[in-house]
A and B are shown apart, each in its own frame.
Chain A
Amino acid sequence: MNNTWGDMAQYDPVTWNWIIAVYLFMAGLSAGSILIGIGLRWYSKDKSVESAILKAAAIISPVAISLGLACLVFDLTKPFHFWLILINYNLSSVMSIGVLALLAYSPIGIAYSLIVLRDELPKWKLGFLVPLAHALQPFRKAIEVVLFVLAIGVGAYTGFLISAMNAYPMLNTAVLPALFLVSGLSAGAAANAIGALVMFNTSSHDATLGKMHGLELPVMLSEMMFLFMLFCALYFKGGAAAAALASLTIGVWASVFWIGVVGIGFAIPLLSMLMPAQTRHTKGVMIAVACCSLTGVLALRHFVLYAGQSYIS
């Protein structure tokens, strides 16, 4: 029987769809990639050479955030009015704070990439940018520090953005920004590894690559811990929050979680650590494992966004 009160389509609780999940992924990837690149540079003794990891990060980070922002703009119902968001600010809105962060993060990230890639630019027919890169060179330290801080902001911001909505118990938790930041780090590390191996043909026994691999296990363990904390918080809160735990057992998002996040994102990379060192360190295996990590993080963003919006308190 038709209802008498009209179309229910507008009442679908899932407002933000996969485009936003891709944006959340790209922003996390961009922040994670540059955080790891800069972090490893600070950690390394020889700062005169640009490591393949940092060069990869210098490409991945600005490209990822640009693609992410393109997703964001074209998801607006009025994409050609996006400038309205740049001239009007409401500082109680997490989105406005994020716009300010991204407004600084994106150009500073590009400036830093030019510095890092100054010797590569002529190879890509971008030689005309070299003078600019050299002009920016004296400010490298300052740019690096500011970019690092902003990247932490951008990485966590995507979590704050969706946790600010108290209508959704699974999203409205304090742990989400931390979860998104660490999963961004894991995506960033994976993408940096692929970039270094594929674009800069680095050896799979490279020292910086090795150090980055050392980070992967603690990052993945903290990601698992934050996920566990998220579900515990829901369970103990009870009511609508506990009902949201059904997303782990029922429906397509349960499959995305168990196959995508747990199976591909955690189990394969963890099990790959049990392989003999020789096999594990071949280029093919490293790239395949990195692709699994990236898939896992993308699946996590989709799971959190869709399952989170499906349960309303």
Chain B
Amino acid sequence: MSKRYVMVHDENRCIGCQACSVACRSENGTPESVSRLQVRVEGPFGDAPHLHFKYNRVSCQQCENAPCVTVCPTGAAYVGDDGLVSIKADKCVGCMYCVAACPYKVRFMNPETKAADKCNFCKDTRLARGELPACVTVCPTDALIFGDANDPQSDVAKLINTKATYQEKTHLGTQPRVYRIPTKRGGIQS
């Protein structure tokens, strides 16, 4: 795979405005009862007046070693040439093995297509046209950075090479491609 698409969620910059979720829903026509993307505002943590929140992006982690692809009996969940984990809805029978196997619980059954569904970085629409995913484009604080980490000149490559980031549940060996920059608390000194 020549490309390695990754997404960085800068939790310092995120303000939990939900613009990304709305853009995602609009771009992908996600039915109302389900979502491909949520930004959960968790907290507050700490004691007043030093309260803080955590902005937790919940969406497909585009694992390099994806449990959903391994367990899918029909091959409906597959890794494309671009390395992205995607779903062929017409091959899916709805056994929900992938929904159960996903450690991040970001797969769901689409009530309209009756097939498994999830974020695919807007692969078929915006990415195919050479644009950025809808959530990245719409973010008012530039908290989302997306690109090909195999290209050393890309913004994401520079970012994950220079900033302290973390990924979720790495102990399960899934190698997620959503990186997070943790919140660094404290005021800005002038």
Report which A residues bind B (CB closer than 8 A): 3-7, 9-11, 13, 15-16, 75-78, 81-82, 84-85, 88-90, 92-96, 99, 164-167, 309, 312-313
Contact = CB atoms under 8 A, between A and B. Distances in A.
A161 to B, nearest CB: 8
A15 B99 contact: yes
Contacts of A82: 93
Q: Is the interface of B mostly helix, strand, loop or mixed?
A: loop
Contacts of A88: 73-76, 91
B15 to A, nearest CB: 11
B34 A10 contact: yes
Given A6-B38, A75-B95, 7 more contacts: A3-B41, A78-B114, A92-B70, A93-B71, A165-B67, A166-B172, A167-B172
B94 A77 contact: yes
B40 A5 contact: yes
In the A-B complex, the 4 residue pairs with the smallest Cβ-Cβ separation, listed nearest first, are A77-B94, A167-B103, A88-B74, A15-B100
Interface of B: 16, 18, 21, 32-35, 38-41, 58, 67, 70-76, 91-97, 99-103, 105, 108-109, 114-115, 169, 171-173
14 contacts: A5-B38, A5-B41, A6-B35, A7-B34, A10-B108, A10-B109, A15-B99, A76-B93, A77-B93, A77-B94, A90-B72, A166-B103, A166-B173, A313-B172
B36 to A, nearest CB: 10
A16 B100 contact: yes
Given A5-B38, A90-B74, A313-B103, A95 B95 contact: yes
Given A10-B34, A167-B102, A81 B93 contact: yes
A3 B18 CA distance: 11
B100 A309 contact: yes
Given A84-B93, A167-B103, A5 B18 contact: yes
A85 B92 CA distance: 9
A165 B101 CA distance: 5
Nearest to B18: A4
A93 B70 contact: yes
A77 B34 CA distance: 15
